[in-house]
């Protein structure tokens, strides 16, 4: 919980000027982050461990709507965002897509209960709800991709993929590996290590040859990763760049201008 003094400082000076009104701004902001994360964890604990009788007085739309409006900056409307708010905002877009997905999952369960005697009608509506969730994810992913391409263009890097979301069908991953192997292949499986720092691929090459273990490993402090491809009695080794944005890890490679 925030103390009265901190709450007053935030209300009076807003976050943009908050650092100018505190004696130790870096420590104060760090403490704010820690309190915020702890507070969210406490809300999750209350939601998971208390009865509906208690939650009916806490987790209501009227109480949550003002907070959601503030988080998403919806109080500014669609065309009046101040300069301090990024119009292309992958963090908020991904948050929205996550909320839409979770809410639609719940609403589908509710609708199935309402229309359990009319399965045909229910299937049509449930399909529309699933499509809405899919479109939300597509919008958020497009925002994320365009933002990362903009970041890469300014740093002479090529964006590859999201570390957690990459799949066997990812075109950038396929292109990265094809550029090293020079032969056609399919990515049969992707496995992640328990600590989340290693991706391991099984490749099936044309003519049914197999490379059972191609790896990308995040190194040291997490700023680089190593691509390792066994090739006969040798191996191909390449360094990739890792960037952390809004708690997500993204892989890039340096652009070769030669």
125-167 pLDDT per residue, tens: 999 999 999 999 889 888 888 887 787 777 788 899 999 989 9
Q: Which of 3-7, 103-107, 136-140 has the lowest mean pLDDT?
A: 3-7
DSSP 21: G
The mean per-residue pLDDT over the stretch 234-240 comes to 93
Q: Picking from 41-45, 46-50, 84-88, which range would have the lowest pLDDT averaged per residue?
A: 84-88
Q: What is the CA radius of gyration of the chain?
A: 24
User: Domain locations in the chain?
Assistant: 1-59, 76-154, 158-254
Angle among Cα 184, 218, 257 to the nearest 5 degrees reads 60
**Span 227-236, pLDDT tens digits:** 999 887 889 9
Residue pair 241/222 in contact (Cβ under 8 Å)? The answer is no
Tell me how far apart the alpha carbons of residues 40 and 186 are, in angstroms, rounded to a whole number: 42
Kindly give, in sequence order, each residue whose CB lies less than 8 Å from that of residue 59, ignoring residues fewer than 6 positions away. Answer: 47
- Mean pLDDT of the chain, nearest integer: 84
237 pairs with which residues across the strands? 228
**Residue 79 predicted with pLDDT over 70:** no
Specify the length of the chain in residues: 258
- The per-residue DSSP string of 172-218 comes to HHHHHHHHHH-S-EEEEEEEE-TTS-EEEEEEEEGGG-EEEEEEEEE
Query: What is the predicted pLDDT for the residue at 127?
Result: 92
Asked whether the predicted pLDDT for residue 55 surpasses 80, the reply is: yes
Q: Give, as one character, the DSSP assignment of residue 158.
A: E
Those residues whose C-beta lies under 8 Å from the C-beta of residue 6, and which sit 6 or more positions away, are 28, 32
Cα separation, 81 vs 60, in Å, equals 27
């Amino acid at each position: 919980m925030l103390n009265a003094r901190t709450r007053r400082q935030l209300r009076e000076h807003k976050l943009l000027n908050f650092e100018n009104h505190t004696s130790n701004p870096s420590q104060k902001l760090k403490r704010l982050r820690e309190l915020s994360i702890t507070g969210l964890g406490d809300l999750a604990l209350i939601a998971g461990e208390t009865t509906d009788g208690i939650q009916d007085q806490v987790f209501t739309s009227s109480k949550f709507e003002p907070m959601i409006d503030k988080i998403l900056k919806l109080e500014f409307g669609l065309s009046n965002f101040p300069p301090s708010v990024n119009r292309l905002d992958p963090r908020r877009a991904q948050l929205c897509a996550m909320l839409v997905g979770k809410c639609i999952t719940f609403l589908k369960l509710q609708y199935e209960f309402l229309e359990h005697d009319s399965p045909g009608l229910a299937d049509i509506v449930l399909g529309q709800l699933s499509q809405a969730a899919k479109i939300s994810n597509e919008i958020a992913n497009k925002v994320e991709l365009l933002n990362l391409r903009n970041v890469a263009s300014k740093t002479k890097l090529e964006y590859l993929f999201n570390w957690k979301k990459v799949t066997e069908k990812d075109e950038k991953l396929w292109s990265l590996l094809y550029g090293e192997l020079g032969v056609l292949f399919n990515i049969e499986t992707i496995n992640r290590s328990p600590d989340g720092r290693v991706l391991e691929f099984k490749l099936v090459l044309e003519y049914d040859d197999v490379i059972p273990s191609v790896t990308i490993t995040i190194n040291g402090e997490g700023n680089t990763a190593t691509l390792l491809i066994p090739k006969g009695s040798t191996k191909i080794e390449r360094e990739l760049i890792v960037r952390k944005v809004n708690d997500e890890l993204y892989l890039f490679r340096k652009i070769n201008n030669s």
